[in-house]
Structure 1
Amino acid sequence: MKSSPSLRRGLCSIRKSSKSITDIFPGKSISSHLLQNKDIEEARSIFSKIPSPDVRLCTTMINCYSQANRIDDALQLFNSMPIRDVASWNSIIKCCIQCGNLSLAQKLFEEMPDRNVISWTTIVDGMAKFGRIDVAEKLFYATPLRDTAAWNSMITGYCKNGRVRDAQSLFDKMPCRNVISWTAMISGSKQNGDSNKALCLFKQMWAEGIKPTSSTFACAFSVCADTQDFDLGTQIHATVIKTGYATETFTSTSMITFYANCKRIESFNKIFNDIEHRNVFLWTALLTGCASNGRYQQALDEFCKMLLSGVMPNESTFSTALNSCCGLEALDKGRRIHASVIMQGFDSHIFVGNSLVVMYSKCGDIEDSLRMFKNLGERNLVSWNSIIVGCSQNGYASWALELFDEMVGCQVKPDEITFLGLLTACNRSRMIDKGRQLFQLMKENPSFDIKAEHYACMVDILGRSGNLEEALEFVRSMPIKPNVVVWLSLLSSCRVHCNVEIAAKAAKELFDLDQYNSAAYVLLSNIYASAGRWSDVAHTRLMMKCHGIVKTPGCSWITVRETRYEFVCGDRSNPLSSEIYRKLNWIDEKLKLHGYVYDKAFALHDVDDEQKEYSLKYHSEKLAVAFGLLITPEGSTIRVIKNLRVCGDCHTAVKLISKIVAREIVLRDSSLFHHFRDGFCSCEDYW
C-alpha cells in the first residue's frame, strides 16, 4: 500500500535538506506521520535516520510494528531501548496480545517495574478476548486501581465467554458506568441468546438518560430484529435520524436487518437506496434481507448490481447469494457465482465452501456437492451436516451413513441436525434397525434435544416399512405431545400401504390440532380413493369445501436458460404444446414397447379406465420432461421440480424414459430428489 501524501512530501524535503530529520519532524509530528504511514518499510526507513530516538519515538515505532503484526521487530526494538517508560512496556504487551502471544504478554507484564491502570486493563482485556477468562478474572481482582475501562474489559470478556450472569453481577457493582458498559451488556445478552434481557437493558439505559453511540444503536436494532419489536425499532430509528447516526455503516446495516426481520420490505429497500456510499456490509445486509423474505431473485439481481458498482463481496455476501440460488433452484446461476468465488479467492473459506456444498445438493447436483465437500481444506460440523443431509435429500442414503462413519472417525461430535439427516437416510433406505439404533443413541445422550421432527422421522421409518401399528403406538408413547408433522407422517405412511383404519385415527388427531390442514384432507381423500371408497372420498371433499379448503393443484416446472416454464395436468398453454404432446405420444409408444402399463390406482377419480389413462398420460411432470427433451441439448441432464409428491405411475414412467432417451432426469418433488438413470432411480422405488 502507498504511504500518505503528507509523508511523501516530508521524505522529499528530507532528501533535499541538510537539516536533521528530527528538525524536520520534531516531537509529536514524527509520531503522527509514522502512525499514518501505511508502508511499514518506509516508516522504518524514516526511523532509522534518527540518530538517537527518544523513548516516545521508539514506542511509536513499536505501535507501528504492532499494527503490522511484526512482533519480532517490535521485540528487537524494545530490547534495544536504553530507557523504557510505562508507555513503552504497555505498547509491547499490547503488541504481544495483538499477535496472539499471551504467554509472552503475561511474562512481560510480570517483569514490569512500574504499572499503571492502562497496564492492568491491557492485560485483562487481552486475556479475556482470547478466552483466558479465569486468568483475566484473577488479574482484574488483583488490580490496585480500576478505571471504567478495566470494568468494561472484564464485562466484555465475561460476555464473550458465555458468562453473562457474571457480567451482569459485575455490571451491577460498577461504581461508574458509561455508554460502553451498557453497550457491552446489551450486546453480550443478545449474543448469548437472551434478546429480551438485552431489550430491557436498552430501555433501562434510555430511561437513565445515557446517550447511545452508533454501536449502541446497532445493538438495539439487532435486538429489536430478534424480538420483532417493531414499535420500539421505529422509535429508535427516529432518534437515530435526529442524532445523525443514520448514515453510519453499522447503524444503517442493523436498521436494514431490523426491517427485514419485521417483513417490512419497502422500508429496508428505502434505507438502502437513501445511502449514497454503500460498502460490502450494507449490500450484504440488503441481500440477506431479500433472501430472508423469499425475494431470491431480487437478492441475485442486487448481487449483480453490487459487482457492477465495484464493491467486492465477502464471505457472507457469497453465502447469501448461494442460498438465494437454492431458493430458486437456480443451478446455473449458482455455478456462475461459484466461478466468482474462485476468482475472488474465497474458495478456501469454510463458510463459503459450506454454502457451495448446500447449493449443489439443494439444486440436485449431489456429485458436485460431494466434490466440493471433498475439496474443503477444513471441515466443521456444518460441513458434515450439509453433506449428510444433502445425500439423504437426494436419495443416496448409503452415502449419508458412510459419511457419518467417516465423521465419527474424524472426532467430530454430531448434533441434532446430523441425526435428523441420518434418520431421513434410514427412512429412504428401509434401514429400520439402523433407524431404531440411531434414535436410541439420541435418547441415551442427554446432550441431544430430541424434537418433534426426529419423532416424525421415526414414525416415517416404521410406517413406510409397513409397521403401522408399531408406528401408531410409538406416537402414543411420545414424551412430548405429537404435533401436526408427526400425525402427517403417520397419515402419509397409511397412504403408501392403503391402511384406511389407522389413517382415519391419524386424521382425527390431526384435525383436532388443525382442522384447516389441506395436506391432511388430500391424503385422506387419496387413501379412500385408492381403496375404492368413493362415498368417503366425496364426504372428505365436502368437508374441505365446508372449511373453504382448496386443494393445491399439482404443478411441475423446468428452468432452461434462466427462464422458468410451468405445467399443470393437461396443460396446453405453452407455445410448444403441440410439439410437447407429439413428444409425449412418441414416449407413450416407446414405453409400451418396454412393457409399461398405466397404474390406474393413481388416477384418483371415480371415472372409467380410458379417462383415468388419459389423465395419467398428461400429468404435469410428464409434460415438463417432454418439454425438457425438446428444448435441452442432446445428452444433457433434465431437471424438473414438482410442488407435490410424484405419483407412482409417473415415477415408473420417468424411470423408463431415462433409459429410452439415454439421459439423466432429476425430478425433485416435495419429499426428495429422484435421480433417474438408465431405468433406475436413486430412491430405489421407496419414497
Structure 2
Amino acid sequence: MTKFAFLHITKSSIGEHFSSSCAASTVILDSPLKKLQEQQTPTLLSQAQPTESHFFSLRLDDPRSYVSALVQCRSHFQIRKVHSLAITSAMIENLGVANKLVYVYAQQHAMDDAYALFSRMKERDNVSWSIMIGGYLKLGDFIKCFESFRDFVRSGSQMDNYTVPFALRACRDTGSLRLGQEIHHLVYKFGLSSDVFVSAAVVDMYAKCGQVKDARKVFDMMPKRDMVTWTVMISCYAECGRPEESLALFDLMEEDGIVPDKVTMVTVAFACGKLGAMHRAKMVHDYIRKRKFSLDVILGTSMIDMFAKCGSVDAAREIFDKMKERNVISWSSMVSAYGIHGRGKEALLLFPQMLNSGIWPNRISFVSALSACSHAGLVEEGRQIFYSMQKEYFVEPDVKHYTCLVDLLGRAGRLDEALDLIKKMKVEKDEGLWGALLGACRIHGNMSLAERAAKGLLELAPRNSGYYVLLSNIYANAGKWEEVALVREMMSYRRVKKAPGWTWIEIDNKTYQFRVGDKSHPQSKEIYEKLAVLSEKLELAGYIPDTNFVLHDIDEELKAEFLYTHSEKVAIAFALIATPEGSTIRMTKNLRICGDCHTFTKMISKIMLREIVVRDANRFHHFKEGSCSCGDYW
C-alpha cells in the first residue's frame, strides 16, 4: 500500500533468502500443521507444552521444522521456548534457524533479545545484518540502525539490496543527507546503482531531504524504472511544492507504459490539490473511474482533499457520499473542505453525523471543526466545540486547537479574550499561535498587541518573511513609516527576503502564471489595456484603491498604480479577455489576498457578471455579485 513498497519487498524477500542458509535444501515457511502432525518423529515441544501443541509441532533434527514452528509463534514466550530447544539440540548453530529466530524477535520489537542472539552467532550473512538494521529502523531506534549498518560495512560483507534500502530509509526519516550521500557513494562502489530497489531508495532519500535535483538525476540514470520508483519521484515534486512537474512526470509515466496503482493516484491527487487545477482534477477522477479503482478510505479521502483544494466542495461531497467506508480522517477532510470554502454551518452539521456513524472524533477532527468556525466567523459555536473537547470527548486541546480559537476570537475583534486564553494556556506556544494573534491585530489595528505578538513571533520564526510583511502592513496602515523602514532593515540584516506573489489561472485546460507587474505573456499589451478599462469602470462605480497595502512611503498616485499591477488583477484581466462571457474564473495565489485586491475582485464580479473563485494561502474566496463567501472575514 505504501509508496515505499520496495522496502516491504526487501523485508518479505528475507524469508526466501533463508533457504540458502539452511542445512536442509528447503525451508518451509508455511507448512500446514496437519502435515507436521503426520510425521512419525516424536515432538518434544508438544510433550513439554501440551497446552500450546495446537500452535506448532517440532522435529528436533530438522531445521525446516524450527523455521516453520517460528512462523507459527504468536507470543514472546513461544519464541523463547523454540529458542531454548534450538540451543538444547544445537540447531542454533544452523544459520537459517538463527536468522529466523533473530527475525521473529525483531518482529516482536524484542531487539535486545535479537541482538543478544545476533552477537553470539558464529556465522552471519547479509540476511542476519538486514534483519538487525531493519529491526532497529522499524522500532525507530535510528542510532542503533546506523551503528548496525556501520558495523555491517566494516565487517567486509558484500552490500546488497537487502541492507541498503533500510539504511537509506533511516537517512530519509532523520533527514541525514550527508550520511545518505555516503551510502549513495557505496551504492556506486558496490555496483548496486542498476538495482531498482536500491535506486528507488536513493531517489526517495534525496526527495525527503529536499534534494530534488539529485533525486531526479538518479531517477533519470536508472536503466529500468518500475511503478514504485515513478511514484516516489512524482511524490517528490508534489511535496517540494512543484506540482506542475509532478503531473508532467505522471504523463511521462503513462507514455512509458507504466500502469499506475492506487498509491500513485493518491500521489497524483495530492499534486492536483497543490496546483489547484480543476481540469487536472477532473482528468484524475475520470482516470480512476476508467480503471475502476474502488474508492477506499485512502483514495477516497485524497480525492475529497483534491476537489476541495481545486475549488469544488460539491465535487468533494459527491466523492464523500460515494465512499462505502469512511474513517475519522475522511470525515475530518470533508469538514475541513467545507471550512476552507466558508461553509462553516455545513461543516458543523457533519459532526453529529460522524458520531451517529460510530466514528469518534480525534484531534484532527477538532482542528477541522474549529478552523471551519474561524473561516465562517462562528464564534459561539467554536467556543462550544473547544470547551467540549476535554469534557465530552476526552481530547486534551493542543497548541493547534488553541491557535484556531485565538484566530476565531481575534478575527471577531475579541482580542482581550484571545490574549487571556493565551496567558492561561498550559501547552507550549508556537509561531502559528502568535501568527494568528498578529493577523487579528492587523484586521483591528491594535498596535500595542501587534508589537507584543510580533516580538514572540520573530523569536520563534526569524526566517518567515510573511510575519515581517504582516507587521509592516500594520505599521503602514497607521502611517508609521519609520517603523516600516525598521522592519525592512531587520529583514535585510537577517537576510530574509519577501516571498514574491504569484497567481495561477486555469483557462481551457491550461494553467497560466502571473507575478506582480508581469509582462511576459504574449498578450501583455491587451491585458494591460483591459486592466486600464476595468480601473475606469470600477472608479466610476466607487472603487478607491486602498493604498495602505503598499509598503512604500511614496506618492499616493504611484501607490495606486502599483496596486493595479498585483498578480491577481493581471490574471483577472487576462481571464476576461480569454474566456467566454459569464464563465467562472478560477485562480490560485501563493500568498494571502490583500484587502485592496479583495475589494477589486468583489466589484469585478458584480460589474462583469462573473463568478470568481480565488484560493489564497489561507482559504477559498467565492466572489459573486459583489460579495465574497468569506463575508470579508479572512
Q: What interval of TM-score do these two structures reach, taking the shorter chain for normalisation? A: 0.7 to 0.9
User: Aligned pair in 2 of structure 1 residues 515, 345: CA closer, same or farther (>3 Å)?
Assistant: closer
Corresponding residue to 2:71 among 125, 136, 140: 125
User: Aligned residue pairs: how many?
Assistant: 590
Give yes or no for contact 1:350–1:376 (8 Å, CA) kept in 2.
yes
The aligned residue for residue 402 of structure 1 is 349
- Shift of residue 358, structure 1, vs aligned partner: 2.0
* Aligned residues: CA RMSD: 4.0
CA distance in 1, matches of 2:146, 2:395: 30
CA distance in 2, matches of 1:462, 1:206: 58
The aligned residue for residue 275 of structure 2 is 328
SS of the equivalent of 1:640 reads strand
1:628 partner letter: A
User: Aligned pair in 2 of structure 1 residues 577, 390: CA closer, same or farther (>3 Å)?
Assistant: same
Corresponding residue to 1:236 among 183, 189, 198: 183
Q: Which runs of 5+ in 2 are unaligned?
A: 1-25, 44-51
- Shift of residue 441, structure 1, vs aligned partner: 5.0
Matches of residues 158-177 of structure 1 in structure 2 within 5 Å?
A: 159-160=106-107, 163-164=108-109, 166-173=110-117, 175-176=120-121
The aligned residue for residue 593 of structure 2 is 646
* Bigger Cα displacement from structure 2, 510-519 vs 595-604: 595-604
CA distance in 1, matches of 2:451, 2:432: 16
- Shift of residue 674, structure 1, vs aligned partner: 0.8
Matches of residues 186-335 of structure 1 in structure 2 within 5 Å?
A: 186-335=133-282
CA distance in 2, matches of 1:607, 1:255: 52
User: Aligned pair in 2 of structure 1 residues 188, 662: CA closer, same or farther (>3 Å)?
Assistant: farther
Matches of residues 615-626 of structure 1 in structure 2 within 5 Å?
A: 616=563, 619-626=566-573
Give yes or no for contact 2:331–2:354 (8 Å, CA) kept in 1.
yes
Query: Is 1:629 the equivalent of 2:576?
Result: yes
Corresponding residue to 1:466 among 407, 413, 428: 413
Q: Which has the larger radius of gyration?
A: 1
1:121 partner letter: V
- Shift of residue 306, structure 1, vs aligned partner: 1.9
CA distance in 2, matches of 1:615, 1:295: 29
The aligned residue for residue 516 of structure 2 is 568
CA distance in 2, matches of 1:157, 1:392: 47
Return the structure number with greater relative CO, CA threshold 8 A, min gap 6: 2
The aligned residue for residue 457 of structure 1 is 404
CA distance in 2, matches of 1:590, 1:221: 60
2:592 partner letter: R
Q: Which runs of 5+ in 1 are unaligned?
A: 1-59, 68-73, 91-105
CA distance in 2, matches of 1:141, 1:306: 48
The aligned residue for residue 11 of structure 2 is none
Corresponding residue to 1:475 among 422, 432, 440: 422
1:118 partner letter: R
- Shift of residue 366, structure 1, vs aligned partner: 1.9
Matches of residues 77-92 of structure 1 in structure 2 within 5 Å?
A: 86=39
* Bigger Cα displacement from structure 2, 584-593 vs 633-642: 584-593
CA distance in 1, matches of 2:470, 2:583: 35
% same residue: 36
The aligned residue for residue 387 of structure 1 is 334
For each residue in 1:330-373, what CA deviation from the matched residue of structure 2 results, as whole angstroms up to 9, or x when unmatched?
33223223322222332434433332222222222222222222
1:565 partner letter: Q
1:125 partner letter: V
Matches of residues 341-380 of structure 1 in structure 2 within 5 Å?
A: 341-380=288-327
TM-score, structure 2 as length reference: 0.80
The aligned residue for residue 672 of structure 1 is 619
CA distance in 1, matches of 2:171, 2:84: 38
User: Aligned pair in 2 of structure 1 residues 379, 120: CA closer, same or farther (>3 Å)?
Assistant: farther
For each residue in 1:147-200, what CA deviation from the matched residue of structure 2 results, as whole angstroms up to 9, or x when unmatched?
55556556545555xx52x23324314553654343223223223333233212
- Shift of residue 640, structure 1, vs aligned partner: 1.6
Matches of residues 171-186 of structure 1 in structure 2 within 5 Å?
A: 171-173=115-117, 175-176=120-121, 178-186=125-133
Matches of residues 475-494 of structure 1 in structure 2 within 5 Å?
A: 475-494=422-441
- Shift of residue 256, structure 1, vs aligned partner: 1.8
CA distance in 2, matches of 1:135, 1:388: 46
Corresponding residue to 1:683 among 609, 630, 633: 630
* Bigger Cα displacement from structure 2, 235-244 vs 501-510: 235-244
Matches of residues 138-153 of structure 1 in structure 2 within 5 Å?
A: 140=82, 147=92, 149=96, 152-153=99-100
User: Aligned pair in 2 of structure 1 residues 441, 185: CA closer, same or farther (>3 Å)?
Assistant: farther
CA distance in 2, matches of 1:406, 1:156: 45
User: Aligned pair in 2 of structure 1 residues 258, 514: CA closer, same or farther (>3 Å)?
Assistant: closer
The aligned residue for residue 286 of structure 2 is 339
User: Aligned pair in 2 of structure 1 residues 565, 518: CA closer, same or farther (>3 Å)?
Assistant: closer
CA distance in 2, matches of 1:224, 1:446: 38
For each residue in 1:89-110, what CA deviation from the matched residue of structure 2 results, as whole angstroms up to 9, or x when unmatched?
x9xxxxxxxxxxxxxxx99766
Give yes or no for contact 1:171–1:181 (8 Å, CA) kept in 2.
no
CA distance in 2, matches of 1:576, 1:625: 13
- Shift of residue 312, structure 1, vs aligned partner: 1.0
1:172 partner letter: A
